[in-house]
Amino acid sequence: MSEAGEAVLQGQVALVTGASRGIGAAIARKLAGLGAFTVLCGRSRRHLEDTAASIRNGGGRCEIAECDVTDLGSVERVAANVDSAYERLDILVNNAGVGAFSAPLHRMPPESWEQVLNTNLRGVYYCIRAFAPTMIRARAGHIINISSLAGKNALPNGAAYAASKWGLNGLSYSVAEELRGHGIRVAVICPGSVNTELSPHTGKDASKMLQSDDVAHAVAMLVTQAPQSFASEILLRPTQKP
């Protein structure tokens, strides 16, 4: 339930990629808490079960869908199952992502480059390709892409990650224009460093960093906007520099 005690997303179906831990798990819990039936996507069923248990213990409703966003067939199977079971998808949160922050680009192994770009950028393309038709049919929906301030600023020793997020931002702005005529609102959230396993914490005070729930709160703001407008981009920073 929401802080006001209202299930403002009651009757809606949401799907969150990378929902097994960190930011994705927090977003899934938030959407389920607002009343949405939430589909939890990720590669590890064991970790997804943890997220599902926390949602159900809080009175929310969800299901698990094992999915590898770098595999188009895997994404398409989940999309077909969601469309068959619920005949709708109101909210798609493209959150699945990986990082690589240990070396300059000229020392980065090609397989690491492929993993970062395939997950952070190609995976979002696959999900939009697979799930947008259901939203277009309904002439409504939210697509929210979780990017990073690394998609706005230079990130030494994280060039592949930055490239994936700069690309994701450009993808998001363009898809927003493609889909707005169908009643679909596309937004991108660019957080600074979030206190998760993905973020490099060297020299940072974790207590001053953004937390996963801060990103989830931003998602909740986007999906509860009045229908006549939409915020297309949120830049999320900590109050104090960590």
The pLDDT score that the predictor gives to residue 21 is 94
The model's pTM is: 0.94
The pLDDT score that the predictor gives to residue 4 is 44
How far is Cα 31 from Cα 51, in angstroms, rounded to an integer? 12
The pLDDT score that the predictor gives to residue 202 is 64
Query: Which CATH architecture is the domain 13-236 placed in?
Result: 3-Layer(aba) Sandwich (3.40)
Closest CA to 143 of 133, 156, 151: 133
The pLDDT score that the predictor gives to residue 197 is 75
The pLDDT score that the predictor gives to residue 199 is 61
Residues of the chain with pLDDT under 70: 1-5, 198-203
Could you tell me how many helices (H) and strands (E) the chain has, helices first?
7, 7
Find the catalytic residue in 86, 125, 161, 173. 161
* Helix, strand, coil % over all residues of the chain, rounded to 5: 45, 15, 35
Helical H segments across 139-199, by residue range:
159-179
32 φ, ψ to 5°? -65, -40
Is 86 among the residues known to form the active site?
A: no
**DSSP code of 203?**
T
